Chains A and B, each alone.
Chain A
Amino acid sequence: MSNKVLHVLYNDDDILMDAVKKTRAAHHHIEEVFTPFPVHGLDKAMGLAPTRLAICAFIYGLVGLSVATSMMYYIMIVDWPQDIGGKPSFAYYMNMPAFVPVMFEMTVFFAAHLMVITFYMRSRLWPFKQAENPDVRTTDDHFLMEVPVHGDENELVSFFQQTGAVEVKVIEKH
């Protein structure tokens, strides 16, 4: 079986949105859509599952809070419970107000950085990563929909030409 795909290019986000809806209604599978900017509602129109990065961030924040609390509990209360300026170091709660700033900062630090790292890993982004957009115009003003070819190729091409595409290309994918 050949690995042919269609690269359908649009030059307007509204036409793209309409095309995505029509393509879904016609039960053609959309492999990928490349856009130069976030098109609001595109993920919903394509039927993409929502991202869980915010849930990750919440969990990372809790990790940061636990790290900060246990670090300061060990250092200030367990290891060297010294009297520094009359601050009560007998129990964590007694000197807790002084620990709040660091607890807060570390919660934010962990939540932000670990979420960003998760995003970079999940979306496979790193400094020497090769770009994978098939057409350079997709970072400027074009929108590209990639659709695998099944069945009649000509019929599929004419279907997409009717969706307002400015260009429909058949690509042999390896």
Chain B
Amino acid sequence: MSSHYEAPIRKPLIIGDKNYHDVTVDVARPVEGRANKQWWIAFAISLTAFLWGVASVAYTVGHGIGTWGSNKTVGWAWDITNFVWWVGIGHAGTLISAVLLLFRQKWRMAINRSAEAMTIFSVVQAAMFPVFHMGRPWLAFYVMPIPNQYGSLWVNFNSPLLWDVFAISTYLSVSLVFWWTGLLPDFAMLRDRAITPFTKRVYSILSFGWSGRAKDWQRFEEVSLVLAGLATPLVLSVHTIVSFDFATSVIPGWHTTILPPYFVAGAIFSGFAMVNTLLIIMRKVSNLEAYITIQHIELMNIVIMITGSIVGVAYITELFVAWYSGVEYEQYAFLNRATGPYWWSYWLMMTCNVISPQVMWFKKIRTSITVSFVISLVVNVGMWFERFVIIVTSLHRDYLPSSWTMFQPTWVDAGFYIGTIGFFFVLFLLYSRSFPVIAQAEVKSIMKTSSETYKKLHAAHAHDDHSHSEHNHH
């Protein structure tokens, strides 16, 4: 056991007297059991919201985007706000599975599966906005550089909106294969436990015939590491490219070089908040408190605090540069944010994003599940308003005062947004009942270093080290 040494200062990541089989049983339980009443209620609500969203989208496509609150001046409003919000939420999944893997953070193992699921489901939501905010979404395939009978007529690779197409589709597809490859050993575990022929068949297909050979594991780990190495710059580039939609423009309030890192920080900030929201519920309803511990929540809160502080610094930097620039349009853009007709959204954003994460400095607060849950919701509200403020307040008052106007959303704007929230939860609820929500193969690999049982065993060994020294060296 000497090869499993870990500093005693590190707290256990797996609580209770668990062995390998217990992990299997705990992870398989929500999948093998039946859904309870609360699940069906949550599912029904989500499905209703989703169907309202479908109706709103159908209405938009049938009648045109004039059914939205956007106007000639404010051409982008809730559509792109929601798009950026959903993409941002998706980023934490990749951060947890890729960046924390590169940094060898063992605490990621209990949360990476759900975080990646969250990534995929939220990028799916995000991807709907670029399509349905088009005036003619049935011509959306024109964004692809496909040879055609118009001569061939190509696309223009100067536009960040085209970069978005490449970024989002690469991000979604790479995240999907990363997630799925990691799922293979866990689906194999469910397959080998299946009792009914139907579940046996389903998990046989899903697990791609994974058999867990030594060579398979060697390749599996290399693939995971290289994918993590690719996903890390990918995740940074995707939100950077999303930020280019604004940063490469000439609009005061948008044209800033700070946007790429600031958007990425905001994405991590809001994404971790969403992971926190979901996992606080999931650990309770799926009885996974032994794996998603208070320490996991505390560490996520620390990430939220750090990225929230980065976002805070970015806000101050923007304000400083606006003042320092001497450009009156830029100065007015920020004056308008703070004191204009949308002052309430700016101050709501400031309160939610700058003040709320700072309470995490107090250990009592960041280790409280209730407070963490509330803060995580507050952060997501704040981050929605951040995108709203950047987009709408910069557009509704810019160069020509004769073009100044206001923006008012309609029920169709709201319906589409609520529909994506519904769709997200439909997918997430189905996932939580049919997928292994914890990467059990990975959790088992840290049992000997990080579980409470083995930590106690190590402590006992350390006391009579001399008598056991022979046993320790193999």
Q: Does A113 count as interface, using CB distance less than 8 angstroms?
A: yes
Name the segment of B177-185, B291-299, B343-351 touching the other chain: B177-185
Q: Kindly state the separation between the CA atoms of A87 and B222 in the bound complex, as whole angstroms.
A: 42
Chain B residues near A136: list those with CB within 8 A: 192-193
Asked if A35 contacts B222 (CB within 8 A), the reply is: no
Q: Kindly state the separation between the CA atoms of A139 and B217 in the bound complex, as whole angstroms.
A: 12
- With A79-B154, A84-B158 already in contact, the answer to whether A37 and B166 are too (CB < 8 A) is no
- With A38-B441, A57-B226, A140-B189 already in contact, the answer to whether A131 and B211 are too (CB < 8 A) is yes
- With A79-B154, A140-B189 already in contact, the answer to whether A40 and B445 are too (CB < 8 A) is yes
Asked if A53 contacts B444 (CB within 8 A), the reply is: no
Name the segment of B124-132, B200-208, B261-269 touching the other chain: B200-208
Interface of B is mostly: helix
Which of B21, B211, B442 is the one whose CB lies under 8 Å from A140?
B21
Asked if B185 contacts A53 (CB within 8 A), the reply is: no
Asked if A139 contacts B189 (CB within 8 A), the reply is: yes
Q: Does A111 count as interface, using CB distance less than 8 angstroms?
A: yes
Q: Does B188 count as interface, using CB distance less than 8 angstroms?
A: yes
Asked if A139 contacts B212 (CB within 8 A), the reply is: yes
Which of B145, B214, B440 is the one whose CB lies under 8 Å from A75?
B145
Q: Does B418 count as interface, using CB distance less than 8 angstroms?
A: no
Chain B residues near A75: list those with CB within 8 A: 145, 154-155, 157
Chain A residues near B222: list those with CB within 8 A: 51, 53-54
CB distance from B259 to the nearest CB of A (A): 14
Asked if A33 contacts B214 (CB within 8 A), the reply is: yes
Asked if B212 contacts A35 (CB within 8 A), the reply is: yes
Q: Kindly state the separation between the CA atoms of A33 and B152 in the bound complex, as whole angstroms.
A: 55
A22-49 vs B, CB cutoff 8 Å, 1 = contact: the mask equals 0000000000111111111111001010
Asked if A43 contacts B209 (CB within 8 A), the reply is: no
Asked if B218 contacts A111 (CB within 8 A), the reply is: no
Asked if B174 contacts A131 (CB within 8 A), the reply is: no
Which of A80, A105, A112 is the one whose CB lies under 8 Å from B237?
A105
Interface residues on A, range: 35 or more
B225-239 vs A, CB cutoff 8 Å, 1 = contact: the mask equals 111001101100100
Asked if B212 contacts A36 (CB within 8 A), the reply is: yes
Q: Kindly state the separation between the CA atoms of A85 and B189 in the bound complex, as whole angstroms.
A: 56
- With A36-B20, A57-B226, A112-B177 already in contact, the answer to whether A48 and B215 are too (CB < 8 A) is yes
Asked if A133 contacts B211 (CB within 8 A), the reply is: yes
A 58-101 contacts with B by CB, 8 A: 71-72, 75-76, 79-80, 84-85, 87, 95, 98-99, 101
Q: Does B221 count as interface, using CB distance less than 8 angstroms?
A: yes
Chain A residues near B218: list those with CB within 8 A: 43, 48, 50-51
CB distance from B256 to the nearest CB of A (A): 17
Asked if A116 contacts B223 (CB within 8 A), the reply is: yes
The residue in chain A whose Cβ has the minimal distance to the Cβ of B166 is: A105
CB distance from A141 to the nearest CB of B (A): 4
- With A18-B474, A140-B24 already in contact, the answer to whether A42 and B157 are too (CB < 8 A) is no
Interface pairs (20), CB distance under 8 Å: A14-B1, A36-B441, A39-B214, A40-B445, A75-B154, A101-B160, A105-B237, A109-B170, A112-B174, A112-B231, A113-B174, A123-B215, A125-B210, A125-B216, A129-B208, A129-B209, A130-B209, A139-B189, A140-B21, A141-B21
Apart from the given pairs A39-B217, A85-B158, A140-B24, 10 other A-B contacts in the complex at a CB distance below 8 Å: A43-B214, A105-B166, A108-B174, A112-B227, A119-B220, A127-B206, A131-B210, A138-B212, A139-B191, A141-B24
